[in-house]
């Protein structure tokens, strides 16, 4: 079923787009996870990156790696459970090509950050894990904040 509306002018189309953007923003703002959770998840992820970069055979940073992974798993599990109680099931597996591109690009970026945190340190730059953890943690927090349910909302354009 895909009937064509009789006629939609520029103003109607603009109002419809505004309605979509506003609706999506409202639900995102109303049901977004608390900031404290976002910070906790970001720090857990940063700890994983940092620990991976710092781990050597004669230190205990591997414990940080395991601790960070457990904390992140706990935080994300709690987040999904809380959203479900509120009536939202987030997108975990991509539903559209856009989602797939979005998830793949995230996976590549995070893989590069994690690998770089260790490899660049081995090349002699001592602060590589620090910088990688900062970038990775911040990016992870931004993504949870911006896309709390996993879906990509419609963007508002300047001329709408």
Residue 105 binds another protein, judged by CB under 8 A: no
Could you tell me if 65 and 54 are in contact, meaning their C-beta atoms sit under 8 angstroms apart?
no
What is the rounded distance in angstroms from the CA atom of residue 129 to the CA atom of residue 115?
10
Task: Determine which residue in the list 64, 90, 135, 139 makes contact with another protein, applying CB under 8 A.
Answer: 90
Residue 155 binds another protein, judged by CB under 8 A: yes
Nearer to another protein, 3 or 58 (CB): 3
Q: Mark 112-143 as b/e (b = at least 16 C-beta within 10 Å).
A: ebbebbbebbeeeeeebbbbbbebbbebbbeb
Binding residues among 12-41 for another protein as defined by CB under 8 A: 13-14, 16-17, 19-20, 23-24, 26-28, 30-31
Q: How far is the CB of 100 from another protein (least distance, A)?
A: 10
Output the CA–CA distances (angstroms, integers) from residue 3 to 13, 14, 15, 20, 41, in the order listed.
16, 20, 20, 20, 45
**How distant is the alpha carbon of residue 22 from its chain centre?**
21
Task: Determine which residue in the list 39, 56, 95, 104 makes contact with another protein, applying CB under 8 A.
Answer: 95
Residue 124 binds another protein, judged by CB under 8 A: no
Residue 1 binds another protein, judged by CB under 8 A: yes
For residue 111, give both structure tokens.
């893989």
Residue 146 binds another protein, judged by CB under 8 A: no
Nearer to another protein, 120 or 152 (CB): 152
């Amino acid at each position: 079923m895909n009937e064509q509306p009789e006629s939609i002018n520029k103003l109607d189309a603009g109002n419809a787009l505004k309605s979509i953007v506003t609706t999506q923003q409202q639900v995102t703002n109303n049901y977004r996870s608390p900031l404290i959770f976002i910070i906790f998840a970001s720090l857990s992820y940063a700890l994983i990156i940092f620990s991976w970069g710092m781990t050597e055979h004669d230190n205990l940073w591997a414990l940080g790696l395991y601790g960070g992974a457990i904390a992140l798993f706990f935080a994300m599990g709690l987040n999904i459970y809380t959203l479900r109680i509120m009536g939202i099931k987030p997108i975990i597996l991509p539903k559209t090509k856009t989602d797939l591109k979005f998830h793949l690009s995230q996976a590549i970026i995070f893989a590069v950050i994690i690998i770089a945190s260790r490899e660049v340190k081995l090349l002699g730059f001592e602060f590589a894990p620090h910088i990688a953890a900062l970038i990775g943690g911040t990016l992870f927090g931004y993504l949870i904040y911006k896309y709390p349910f996993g879906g990509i909302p419609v963007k508002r354009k300047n001329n709408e």
